[in-house]
Amino acid sequence: MIVNKYNKRAKKINSLLCVGLDSDFTKIPKRFLKLKFPQFEFNKWIIDETHEYAVAYKMNSAFYEMRGDKGIAELKMTIDYLNKNYPDIFTIFDAKRADIGNTNNGYVISIFDWFCFDAVTLHPYLGQEALQPFLDRKDKCSIILCRTSNPGAGEFQDLVLKKPASAKGSSEAKPLWQIVAEKVSKDWNKNKNCMLVVGATYLKEMKKIRSIIGGMTFLAPGIGAQGGDLKSVLKSGLNSKGLGLIINSSRGIIFAENPKEEAKKLCQEIRKYKDN
Q: What's the rounded Cα separation, in Å, for the pair 98 and 104? A: 6
User: Using the rule CB under 6 A, is 259 a contact of ligand OMP?
Assistant: no
User: Using the rule CB under 6 A, is 39 a contact of ligand OMP?
Assistant: no
- Which candidate, 81, 89, 187, places its Cα nearest to that of 144? 187
Position 107, amino acid: Y
Mark whether 5 is an active-site residue: no
43 within 8 A of 23, measured Cβ to Cβ = yes
| Cα distances (Å, whole numbers) of residue 96 to 60, 99, 134, 215, 271 | 9, 10, 12, 23, 30
- Partnered with residue 97 across adjacent β-strands are 122
User: Using the rule CB under 6 A, is 222 a contact of ligand OMP?
Assistant: yes
Number of DSSP helices (H) and strands (E) in the chain, helices first: 13, 10
Q: What's the rounded Cα separation, in Å, for the pair 118 and 105? A: 16
Q: What's the rounded Cα separation, in Å, for the pair 144 and 209? A: 13
Nearest CB to ligand OMP, comparing residues 200 and 238: 200
Q: What's the rounded Cα separation, in Å, for the pair 62 and 66? A: 6
Position 56, amino acid: A
User: Using the rule CB under 6 A, is 228 a contact of ligand OMP?
Assistant: no
Nearest CB to ligand OMP, comparing residues 144 and 179: 144
Q: What's the rounded Cα separation, in Å, for the pair 192 and 5? A: 13
User: Using the rule CB under 6 A, is 252 a contact of ligand OMP?
Assistant: yes
Instruction: Choose one: 67-75, 128-136, 232-240, 243-251; the region binding ligand OMP (CB under 6 A).
Output: 243-251
CB of 153 to ligand OMP, least distance (A): 7
Residues contacting ligand OMP: total by CB under 6 A: 20
User: Using the rule CB under 6 A, is 221 a contact of ligand OMP?
Assistant: yes
User: Using the rule CB under 6 A, is 250 a contact of ligand OMP?
Assistant: yes
Options 11, 70, 96, 163, the catalytic residue: 96
Nearest CB to ligand OMP, comparing residues 73 and 225: 225
CB of 168 to ligand OMP, least distance (A): 27
Q: How many CB atoms lie within 10 A of CB 118?
A: 23
User: Using the rule CB under 6 A, is 94 a contact of ligand OMP?
Assistant: yes
The contact mask relative to ligand OMP for 43-62 (x = CB under 6 A, - = no) is -----------------x--
Q: How many CB atoms lie within 10 A of CB 208?
A: 18
List the catalytic residues.
96
**Where does this chain bind ligand OMP (CB under 6 A)?**
20, 22, 60, 94, 121, 148-149, 197, 199, 219, 221-222, 224-226, 248-252
